[in-house]
Amino acid sequence: DAKTTQPTSMDCAEGRAANLPCNHSTISGNEYVYWYRQIHSQGPQYIIHGLKNNETNEMASLIITEDRKSSTLILPHATLRDTAVYYCIAGPSTQGGSEKLVFGKGTKLTVNP
């Protein structure tokens, strides 16, 4: 699995957009970019994933650069409940085989009132 690099921590004001960067310069052509988050004492929660195109769902938007070497997760209107550790993972295109999601250290996002 490709390694990813994320800032250790970030702060964001409540109501503002939170933009979380991730570098994955060694991502292979068939690997997806996944984002998960872990709110304190809970299990990780899937947010979004993408291959090449930008993606949006009810939780967030994912912007992937054209060369696929980096991406940004955008939480459009951060709330206090978005305070969590956010993990960016360059991971398998399929599941159920020997592929696995490898979690790094993530970014601790703190949303301030």
Partner 1 sequence: DTAVSQTPKYLVTQMGNDKSIKCEQNLGHDTMYWYKQDSKKFLKIMFSYNNKELIINETVPNRFSPKSPDKAHLNLHINSLELGDSAVYFCASSPTDGNYGYTFGSGTRLTVV
103 binds partner 1 (CB under 8 A): yes
Q: Which of 98, 101, 107, 96 is nearest to 38 (CA)?
A: 107
Q: How far is the CB of 16 from partner 1 (least distance, A)?
A: 26
Residue length of the chain: 113
45 binds partner 1 (CB under 8 A): yes
User: Do 34 and 92 contact (CB within 8 A), yes or no?
Assistant: no
Q: Show the binding pattern over residues 79-98: x = contacts partner 1 (CB under 8 A), - = does not.
A: ------x-x----xxxxxxx
Helix (H, G, I), strand (E, B), or coil: what is residue 13? strand
- Give the residues lining the site for partner 1 (CB under 8 A): 32, 34, 36, 38, 41-46, 49, 85, 87, 92-98, 100-103, 105
